[in-house]
């Protein structure tokens, strides 16, 4: 199979779909790789490194999309990239479709086979291709929040760790999954006063066992969330409903009870955000202020640590790329229910139930599409 790796064009996105070692693995299995020139610059991987791994270098993204049978990316295709997709072409990347009706319309119109990293599952029900970036984003969220708390950024002027004689910042984390656990690890490690809220007793028990007295855990309901964010200096939104729009846990009315200059880092922004006043931002302009509260809502946070993020992501995605390339998408999806769960759009139809429900489209299950 001819596999294409375009350069990412989203604002300040420095990751790349495949590393040179991953390219070498695919070439060794008999596949052809076409990599856009400069695609690996953000991870210090030169065109020569890709050539040495066996890839051909394309002069443009248009050439990659026009030639490849499968496109392997990191971020959702931007508008110009969506016009380059064609019927039957495989697109394997993060999509986050539920809050993005324009992207859904374009992907349906393209006729492409669109498989989303974020809905591929594992046997234990986890999301193995989302987890590496969730780990990165969770850790980064505390780093970003600490910076936003600085007075020059519009924050309260609070040091996350405190100092002897001055109490540390209070951090409230909404969601105890991969993002929330990563955020708790870093925040507690920095000495902050950390509270994690979640609706799953099993998650709360896991967090208590993992962190012991270094953090507090609370069952999440409207009252506990309201009290926690009103007391917090930093709030991290770390909730996820796989494939669906994130639940709105923080309303605009709640902001009035928060401390002026406190910070919300909404890691759920890729799925629409868990705060009513959240809107996607970029690394170029990462934050804004609403009702005195600093909002940090960068939709591709791990792109800032591109090398770490790319190598972590490729380690997770490569086995699935190999399966798709070796078997073709139909056989690969028939053979693996977990990869099949990644099918979001195919031949103009919505295969992901959560996306169909969120955007009011008919749902065509992957099994039905494969039979057709």
Please give the positions annotated as active site. Answer: 96, 270
Residue among 79, 34, 24, 87 nearest 345 (CA): 87
At residue 195, the 3 state secondary structure works out as strand
Q: What are phi and psi of 215, to 5 degrees?
A: -135, 165
DSSP code of residue 7: P
Q: Which residue has the tokens 């406190």?
A: 262
The tokens for 129 are 């291709």
What distance in Å separates the CA atoms of residue 183 and residue 192, rounded to the nearest whole number?
Answer: 11
Would you say 138 and 302 are in contact if contact means Cβ atoms under 8 Å apart? Answer: no
C-alpha distances out from residue 53 to 23, 77, 140, Å: 6, 25, 31
What distance in Å separates the CA atoms of residue 304 and residue 324, rounded to the nearest whole number?
Answer: 29
Residues 6+ apart with CB under 8 A from 304: 12, 14, 140, 283, 298
Terminal-to-terminal C-alpha distance of the chain = 23
Q: What are phi and psi of 217, to 5 degrees?
A: -125, 145
At residue 79, the 3 state secondary structure works out as helix
Q: What are phi and psi of 170, to 5 degrees?
A: -95, 130
Counting beta carbons within 10 angstroms of the beta carbon of residue 289, is it exposed (0 to 12), middle (13 to 18) or buried (19 or more)? middle
At residue 371, the 3 state secondary structure works out as helix
What distance in Å separates the CA atoms of residue 120 and residue 100, rounded to the nearest whole number?
Answer: 19
């Amino acid at each position: 199979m001819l596999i294409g790796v375009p350069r990412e064009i989203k604002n300040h996105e420095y990751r790349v779909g495949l590393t040179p070692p991953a390219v070498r693995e695919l070439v060794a299995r008999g596949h052809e790789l076409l990599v856009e020139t400069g695609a690996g610059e953000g991870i210090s991987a030169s065109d020569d490194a890709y050539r040495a791994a066996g890839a051909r270098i394309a002069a443009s993204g248009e050439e990659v999309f026009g030639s490849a049978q499968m496109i392997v990316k990191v971020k959702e295709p931007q508008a110009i990239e969506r016009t380059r997709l064609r019927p039957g072409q495989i697109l394997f990347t993060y999509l986050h479709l539920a809050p993005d009706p324009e992207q859904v319309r374009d992907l349906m119109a393209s006729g492409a086979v669109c498989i989303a990293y974020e809905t591929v599952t594992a046997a234990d029900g986890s999301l193995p291709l989302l987890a590496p970036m969730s780990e990165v984003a969770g850790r980064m969220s505390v780093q970003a929040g600490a910076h936003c708390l600085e007075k020059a950024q519009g924050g309260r002027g609070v040091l996350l760790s405190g100092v002897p004689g001055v109490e540390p910042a209070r951090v409230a984390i909404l969601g105890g999954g991969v993002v929330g656990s990563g955020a708790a690890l870093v925040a507690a490690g920095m000495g902050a006063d950390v509270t994690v809220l979640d609706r799953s007793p099993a998650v709360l028990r896991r967090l208590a066992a993992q962190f012991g007295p270094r953090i507090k855990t609370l069952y999440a309901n409207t009252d506990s969330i309201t009290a926690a964010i009103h007391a917090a200096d930093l709030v991290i939104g770390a909730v996820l409903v796989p494939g669906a729009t994130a639940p709105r846990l923080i309303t605009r009315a709640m902001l009035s009870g928060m401390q002026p200059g406190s910070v919300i880092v909404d890691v759920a922004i890729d799925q629409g955000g868990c705060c009513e006043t959240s809107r996607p931002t970029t690394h170029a302009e990462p934050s804004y202020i609403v009702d005195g509260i600093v909002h940090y809502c960068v939709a591709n946070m791990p792109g800032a640590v591109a090398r770490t993020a790319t190598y972590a992501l490729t380690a997770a995605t490569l086995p699935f790329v190999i399966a798709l390339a070796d078997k073709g998408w139909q056989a690969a999806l028939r053979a693996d229910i977990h990869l099949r769960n990644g099918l979001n759009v195919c031949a103009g139809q919505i295969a992901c139930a959560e996306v169909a429900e969120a955007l009011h489209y008919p749902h065509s299950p992957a099994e039905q599409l494969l039979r057709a």
